[in-house]
Structure 1
Amino acid sequence: MRSRVLVLAGPSGAGKSHLAERLGVPVLRLDDFYKDGSDPTLPRLVSGANAGLVDWDHPDSWLPDDALATMTELCRTGRASVPVYDISRDGRCGTQPLDLGGSAFFLAEGIFAQDVVQPCREAGLLAAAFCVTQHPARTFWRRLTRDLRERRKPPLVLVRRGVALWRGQRAVVADAVGKGCRQVRPEEAFREISALVAGATTTEVD
């Protein structure tokens, strides 16, 4: 393997993308592997104020096999073609190349990241897996301001979704931990991953 994957799971809005930017390690955005909004297999909400809308927080709304194939290619060759997903348009709007540039690690982050931990471990691709968490109120506010800024959905839909995710945050964290992730705060993950990257760099230099 040319590289190994560091998985960043956790609730939407917990700071995974911001953490990835700070680390400066190549990033595979697992949220780009969502199904297109026209896909008839998409799950839908059956209750609540948003009943009838696509349930984008359900694992059946994305393509884990495609994500795993891409991660395998990245680990073996150091490069892959990855989809570009436009959330506001509910679909892919093209592809782009991802080149690891010789990096010993890359990050795979997204709200379904916990579902790739075991397959990556079994395939010998996994370096470590983290579930990034913050206080639910902070996560709610970060998520809502981000989604409103990026105009991901109508404001009322975003507020209702945010409240539902706030209530379900404990279950999301428990699911990630149960699937092999270690629960950490963003700063703790930053320190540990930085140390891993620095160690790999030192080894290469030696």
Structure 2
Amino acid sequence: MHADGGIARVVLLAGPSGSGKSYVARRCGVPVLPLDDFYLNGDDPRLPRVGDGPATGPNPAPVDWESPASWDATAAVAAIELLARTGSVEVPHYDISVDRCTGYERLELRGARVFVAEGIFAAEIAAACRDRGVLAGAYALRRPRGVTFCRRLARDLREHRKPPAVLLRRGVRLYHDESRVLTRQAALGCRPASAATVRRTIIAAAGTSTARQTALS
């Protein structure tokens, strides 16, 4: 909590996978909470399966990582509220290549009044953040589908997230699904906007165009 008794507020940044949410958030001069670190571990029995197939047996169905049910919304909201009210929170670090949390880091606001929480499922918690009085705004990053496809594939290959053939098939599927994703995020309360608009809005909400340092230790 700030010295005057106020709390910080969060700007949620959603958007299709590969649209540049992390890139834009890091250039707004405010602390950033990566929501993709709140995925469930790969052996969690709560994970949804493609086509509602079996999770066990000789031919288990693949995990549906595009489903919000693969993500711990409750933990994400709790972390956002704690960070907003106390200025500090311990957050998980999730390694997509092994499908699990591999450690924790402390995120400090250091007096910042606004921070960004970004991730593909950010829209899922817009209502919860609003109900808790910590929401400053919610946006869905919108780019041309071809740009998003290329950005996503280049990132995933660079980070060795999965085998190349898997990444390419996933990229094609997400390309065709992008309009539906944006429509859902808008319905959940995230306003579709360009990268430039999102950045200007967040900087204005923070009241500064000077980058603040976020402490991770």
Name segments (4+ residues, structure 1) moved above 4 Å: none
* SS at structure 2 position matched to 1:138: helix
Q: What does the per-residue CA deviation read over 1:168-196, in whole Å, with 9 as the maximum and x for residues that have no partner? A: 10111001110111110101111111122
1:46 CA drift (Å): 2.8
2:188 to 142, 161, 179: 179
**Aligned: 1:53 with 2:27:** no
Q: How high is the TM-score relative to the length of structure 2?
A: 0.88
Q: Supply the distance in 2 between the matched residues of 1:44 and 1:159 (Cα, whole angstroms).
A: 20
**Aligned: 1:90 with 2:84:** no
1:67 CA drift (Å): 0.5
Q: 1:31 to 1:55 in 2, by over 3 A?
A: same
Judge conservation of contact 2:97–2:162 (CA < 8 Å) in 1. Answer: yes
1:200 CA drift (Å): 10
- 1:204 corresponding residue in structure 2: none
1:40 CA drift (Å): 1.7
Q: Structure 2, unaligned stretches of length 5 or more? A: 1-5, 53-59, 211-217
Taking every aligned residue pair, what percent have the same amino acid on both sides? 47
Equivalent pairs counted in the alignment come to 198
1:152 to 137, 157, 161: 161
- 2:36 corresponding residue in structure 1: 31
Judge conservation of contact 2:28–2:209 (CA < 8 Å) in 1. Answer: no
Matched ranges for 1:44-193 at <5 A: 44-46=49-51, 52-193=61-202
CA RMSD in angstroms comes to: 1.6
Q: Supply the distance in 2 between the matched residues of 1:138 and 1:169 (Cα, whole angstroms).
A: 12
1:24 CA drift (Å): 2.4
Indicate the structure with greater helix content: 1
Q: Structure 1, unaligned stretches of length 5 or more? A: 202-206
Q: What does the per-residue CA deviation read over 1:72-111, in whole Å, with 9 as the maximum and x for residues that have no partner? A: 1001100000001011110000111000111001100000
1:19 to 24, 28, 35: 24
* SS at structure 2 position matched to 1:88: coil
Q: Supply the distance in 1 between the matched residues of 2:50 and 2:67 (Cα, whole angstroms).
A: 9
